[in-house]
Chains A and B, each alone.
Chain A
Amino acid sequence: MTDIQYVAPRTLDEAVAAFAATKGAGRILAGGTDLLVQMRNGVVTPSAIVDVKKIAEMIAIEETKEGGFKIGAAVPGATLRDHAKLRKAWPGVVEAANLIGSTQIQSRATAGGNLCNGSPAGDSVPAMIAAGAIVTIQGPKGRRELPVEKVPKSPGRLNLEPGEIVVSFTLPPRPKGSSDAYLRMIPRTEMDIAVVGCGVSLTLDNGTCTAARVGLGAIAPTVLLVEDAAKALIGSKLDDAALAKAAAACSAACRPIDDKRGTIVYRTKVAGVLLKRTTLIAAERAGGK
Chain B
Amino acid sequence: MAKLHVSTTINGEPQEFLCDAEQSMLDILRGPLGLTGSKEGCGTGDCGACTITVNGRIACSCLMLAAEAEGQQIGTIEGMAGEELHPLQQKFLEMAALQCGICTPGVLMAAKALLERNPDPSEHDVRFWLAGNLCRCTGYDKIVRAVMETAADMRGAAR
Chains A and B directly touch (beta carbon < 8 Å): yes
* Contact surface of A with B, Cβ cutoff 8 Å: 1-6, 8, 29, 31-33, 36-37, 39-41, 49, 51, 53, 78, 101-105, 107-108, 189-191
Known: A49-B21, A103-B110. 10 other contacts (CB 8 A): A5-B21, A6-B21, A32-B68, A33-B60, A36-B24, A37-B44, A41-B44, A51-B68, A103-B58, A107-B58
Q: Contact check, B48 vs A104: say whether CB atoms are below 8 A apart.
A: yes
Closest residue of A by beta carbon distance from B70: A8
- Chain A proximity of B147: nearest CB distance (Å): 13
- The bracket for how many chain B residues form the interface is 20 to 34
Instruction: Give the chain B neighbours of A36 by CB distance below 8 A.
Output: 24, 45, 62-65
Which residue of B1, B20, B132 contacts A190 across the interface (Cβ within 8 Å)? B132
Q: Contact check, A78 vs B57: say whether CB atoms are below 8 A apart.
A: yes
Q: Contact check, B20 vs A105: say whether CB atoms are below 8 A apart.
A: no
- Chain B proximity of A219: nearest CB distance (Å): 24
Main secondary structure of the interface of B (DSSP, over half): mixed
A108 in contact with B64 given A4-B1, A37-B45, A191-B131 (CB within 8 Å): yes
Q: Contact check, A190 vs B4: say whether CB atoms are below 8 A apart.
A: no
Closest residue of B by beta carbon distance from A102: B132
Instruction: Give the chain A neighbours of B24 by CB distance below 8 A.
Output: 36
Which residue of A6, A37, A190 contacts B67 across the interface (Cβ within 8 Å)? A6
- Chain A proximity of B38: nearest CB distance (Å): 12
What would 27 A/B residue contacts be, using CB atoms closer than 8 Å? A2-B1, A2-B20, A4-B1, A4-B20, A6-B4, A6-B21, A8-B68, A8-B70, A32-B63, A32-B65, A33-B63, A36-B45, A36-B65, A37-B63, A40-B44, A41-B44, A49-B65, A78-B57, A102-B60, A104-B132, A105-B60, A105-B63, A107-B59, A108-B60, A190-B128, A191-B46, A191-B132
Q: Contact check, B22 vs A2: say whether CB atoms are below 8 A apart.
A: yes
Instruction: Give the chain A neighbours of B110 by CB distance below 8 A.
Output: 103-104
Closest 10 CB pairs of A and B: A102-B132, A190-B131, A6-B21, A107-B57, A2-B20, A4-B21, A104-B60, A6-B67, A37-B44, A107-B59
Instruction: Give the chain B neighbours of A191 by CB distance below 8 A.
Output: 46, 131-132
* Contact surface of B with A, Cβ cutoff 8 Å: 1, 4, 20-22, 24, 43-46, 48, 51, 54, 57-60, 62-65, 67-68, 70, 110, 113-114, 128-133
- Chain B proximity of A84: nearest CB distance (Å): 14
Main secondary structure of the interface of A (DSSP, over half): loop
Q: Contact check, B1 vs A3: say whether CB atoms are below 8 A apart.
A: yes
Closest residue of B by beta carbon distance from A188: B131
Q: Contact check, A108 vs B20: say whether CB atoms are below 8 A apart.
A: no
Q: How far is the CA of A127 from the CA of B67 in the complex (A)?
A: 32
Instruction: Give the chain B neighbours of A49 by CB distance below 8 A.
Output: 21-22, 65
Q: How far is the CA of A2 from the CA of B32 in the complex (A)?
A: 17
Instruction: Give the chain A neighbours of B70 by CB distance below 8 A.
Output: 8
A40 in contact with B43 given A33-B63, A191-B131 (CB within 8 Å): yes
Q: How far is the CA of A186 from the CA of B63 in the complex (A)?
A: 23
Q: How far is the CA of A8 from the CA of B65 in the complex (A)?
A: 12
A189 in contact with B131 given A6-B21, A6-B67, A103-B58 (CB within 8 Å): yes
Closest residue of B by beta carbon distance from A40: B43
Q: Contact check, B59 vs A104: say whether CB atoms are below 8 A apart.
A: yes
Q: Contact check, B45 vs A104: say whether CB atoms are below 8 A apart.
A: yes
Q: How far is the CA of A78 from the CA of B54 in the complex (A)?
A: 13
Q: Contact check, B67 vs A51: say whether CB atoms are below 8 A apart.
A: yes
Instruction: Give the chain A neighbours of B68 by CB distance below 8 A.
Output: 8, 29, 32, 51, 53
